[in-house]
A and B are shown apart, each in its own frame.
Chain A
């Protein structure tokens, strides 16, 4: 039972109802995850609205690595490695800005914001050199879906559409909450660092079992209705969407309550401008349906968590260090809703957030707990006995079941068993 981790290939550390603790703490496994997951699959990088104008750039990341996201002079999104092809210096140390080119400070090579080499000083020393081979490294695959930009550091593999799979419908539903059908990321990010493995964060995003306990303090004092969504008698469901993606689908509970904007803890009377714009855009019936259903709570593997009114972007830095970058979602054409979403997000998330400080505490204490060696396996079997398939064939559990966690680990297993590219 208590197998020693390094005596086993990684796929043997994952069973249907349990996972081995070393998966969170072994530095060698972390290194392999970088190659097999972070530098291979599609990873969320940023949103097009973060670089609205030509020559805008913003510093982003893929795994621990910094990536510069630019909008080049022709309007195309580019993802570039922040490493000078001459001797390796960083070419950009700003978090954001507007620049048609980047000049490396070391020997002044200059690069266009599509990565190509513009020139180097004292060119007489480079006679016969092919400049086209001396540009910045470019992320080989870049694609976006409804403004969400993803990158893959491997040239081949399934396309983004395939990778997103059922998560596309969640992104569509999110966009429909805007009268203009578009979300924007314009409020900047908080960066919240935790001394914990990144997978503890991923799993927690769609863990419906913990809110009643971890967040009891704020639910009680804020008289929040969120708690009851994750209770034993909630009609919400936990769903594994395949391809590593998972969600807490709260719509059954919201539909039962039948209150437009109930998902946001408010009512049409308090957001008349938004309601009017939604009705104008979609018609009264459809607008009402959208406003009852609310926005998704979905973890798009491995690093984009859309949490109703905010997005989290997960970044692993080391086996025991992770950053959650978090921003309030903004819906195009919904200024009154947007103001409240920003206020509510600021209260909830980040290093001093009413909710996230306590989630972070759990990630960190779990990572501390995993340093103890016995029992070596963690039990993830909650809800196995009542798991079912929905009409689309996806596995579904009760609101508090570990269906998402099991799916995430199954996907992880399939990614980690293949040889490193």
Chain B
């Protein structure tokens, strides 16, 4: 069956993506970290990013760096997230791009409103996921957050994007 017509698969992928969004908005750091596979890559390119192994990205985390990010947030003394930003995001336009055995590639648009002690910021991105079947759930093997304004100067974003 064409992945784009596999409604059961699409529904599972949407539920996973919405759950990830909620965990991020609610700063459920450990639950969010548990969504990642061992070989994970969490990638937020910058305007100058050509090849993430040769040029700067805003975030280019492997699994151990994701763990470090979460640990720093959990100290409660990562001042850029202490106090935490109030966050709400809407994820939409979910598409399953391809399904191959256990691996599913999907993409979505995200719009995120952030409010913190310094002001309010709107973030918009195209998110690309590589998900891997794990029992009746998924793990994230790769997430790329492609910010609409990645070529511009950006305020801090130490929350989970």
Chain A interfacial positions (CB closer than 8 Å to B): 95, 186-195, 214, 216-218, 220-222, 323, 326-328, 339, 342-343, 345-347, 350-352, 354, 357-358, 360-362, 364-365, 368
Contact = CB atoms under 8 A, between A and B. Distances in A.
Interface stretch (B8-16, B21-29, B73-81, B97-105): B73-81
A331 B69 CA distance: 28
13 contacts: A188-B46, A192-B155, A214-B79, A220-B75, A221-B71, A222-B72, A342-B53, A346-B60, A350-B46, A354-B68, A354-B72, A357-B81, A362-B79
Interface of B: 44, 46-50, 53-61, 65, 68-69, 71-72, 75, 77-81, 117-119, 151-158, 161
B64 to A, nearest CB: 11
List the 8 shortest-distance A-B pairs measured between CB atoms, nearest first.
A188-B48, A191-B153, A357-B80, A193-B153, A221-B71, A357-B158, A217-B75, A361-B80
Contacts of B80: 357-358, 360-361
Contacts of A186: 54-55
Contacts of A193: 153-155
B128 to A, nearest CB: 18
Contacts of B117: 365, 368
Contacts of A361: 79-80, 156
B153 A352 contact: no
A328 B75 CA distance: 27
Contact of A192 (B49, B151, B154): B154
Given A354-B72, A364-B118, A190 B56 contact: yes
B81 to A, nearest CB: 8
Task: Provide the main secondary structure of the chain B interface.
Answer: loop
Contacts of A343: 60
Contacts of B50: 188
Contact of B56 (A339, A350, A360): A350
Contacts, number: 117
Contacts of B77: 216-217
A390 to B, nearest CB: 34
A369 B98 CA distance: 51
A187 B118 contact: no
A195 B68 CA distance: 27
Given A188-B49, A191-B47, A217 B78 contact: yes
Nearest to B54: A187
Given A346-B60, A352-B157, A357-B80, A221 B118 contact: no
Contacts of A216: 75, 77
Nearest to A191: B153
A221 B156 contact: no
Contacts of B75: 216-217, 220-221
Given A188-B50, A193-B153, A352-B161, A347 B65 contact: yes
B158 A323 contact: no
A352 B58 contact: yes
Contacts of B157: 351-352, 357
Given A216-B77, A327-B56, A351 B72 contact: no
A361 B84 CA distance: 12
Given A188-B46, A351-B156, A345 B78 contact: no
A366 to B, nearest CB: 11
Kindly name the residue among A193, A220, A351, A365 whose own CB sees the greatest number of chain B CB atoms within 10 A.
A351
A294 B48 CA distance: 28
A386 B155 CA distance: 38
Contact of A95 (B47, B65, B69, B78): B47
A188 B156 CA distance: 18
A248 B159 CA distance: 31
B47 A351 contact: no
A211 to B, nearest CB: 13
A326 B154 CA distance: 12
Contacts of A354: 68-69, 72
Given A188-B48, A195-B119, A217-B78, A345 B56 contact: yes
B58 A221 contact: no
Nearest to B75: A217
Contacts of B57: 346
A362 B60 CA distance: 24
A191 B118 contact: no
A312 to B, nearest CB: 12
Contacts of B158: 351-352, 357-358
A192 to B, nearest CB: 7
A214 B60 CA distance: 23
Contacts of B58: 190, 346, 350-352
A216 B72 CA distance: 9
